[in-house]
């Protein structure tokens, strides 16, 4: 009986070694890079000498100067947001190099600015994100939609404008 239990234990332990633990979620494997392709931009920035309504007006003026019409513009919540598919704007603010496509991709961008009071001064959050895909003339996805990261230009431009 001891031999049967010993062989069963050895046999089952071999299964654990062969199949082993599985990767779950977004946990990087040892050969994957844990660092993002683009350096993360600070989530919020404190601008100490400006009121939220003043910064909100400047952000709206920045969007107007670029010819971008905000889809959401709510001064009470301090949010200005837009979405679009202009190739020039998407290329200016998004990095879709992770897809590795040489063919032209259809990109869609999202630009969001949030301004809110931080006691003395205001906090500003600016974010650019989007997706890229390649769709054939018959409407089929040739490249599945994939996330594009911000290249940091939108955040930098917006914060420079608001600090002036």
Instruction: Give the 3-state secondary structure of residue 4.
Output: helix
For 78-123, the pLDDT digits (tens) are 999 999 888 888 888 888 877 666 566 788 889 999 999 888 889 9
Instruction: Give the 3-state secondary structure of residue 38.
Output: coil
Domains of the chain: 41-163 (3.30.530)
> Distance of CA 141 to CAs 59, 72, 107, Å?
36, 29, 13
Q: How many CB atoms lie within 10 A of CB 90?
A: 21
Phi, psi values for residue 118, rounded to 5°: -125, 45
Residue 51 and residue 61: Cα distance in Å, rounded?
Answer: 16
Q: How much is the pTM?
A: 0.66
For 20-79, the pLDDT digits (tens) are 445 554 445 544 444 444 444 446 788 878 889 999 999 999 999 989 999 999 999 999
């Amino acid at each position: 009986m001891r031999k049967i239990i010993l062989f069963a234990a050895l046999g089952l332990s071999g299964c654990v070694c062969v199949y082993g633990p599985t990767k779950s979620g977004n946990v990087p494997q040892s050969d994957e890079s844990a660092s993002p392709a683009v350096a993360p931009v600070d989530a919020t920035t404190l601008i100490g000498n400006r009121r939220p309504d003043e910064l909100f007006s400047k952000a709206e003026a920045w969007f107007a100067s670029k010819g971008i019409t905000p889809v959401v513009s709510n001064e009470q919540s301090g949010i200005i947001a837009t979405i679009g598919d202009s190739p020039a704007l998407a290329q200016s603010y998004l990095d879709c190099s992770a897809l590795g496509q040489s063919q032209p991709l259809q990109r869609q961008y999202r630009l969001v600015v949030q301004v809110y009071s931080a006691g003395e001064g205001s906090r500003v959050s600016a974010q650019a994100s989007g997706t890229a895909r390649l769709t054939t003339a018959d409407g089929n996805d040739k490249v599945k939609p994939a996330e594009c990261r911000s290249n940091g230009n939108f955040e930098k431009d917006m914060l420079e404008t608001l600090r002036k």
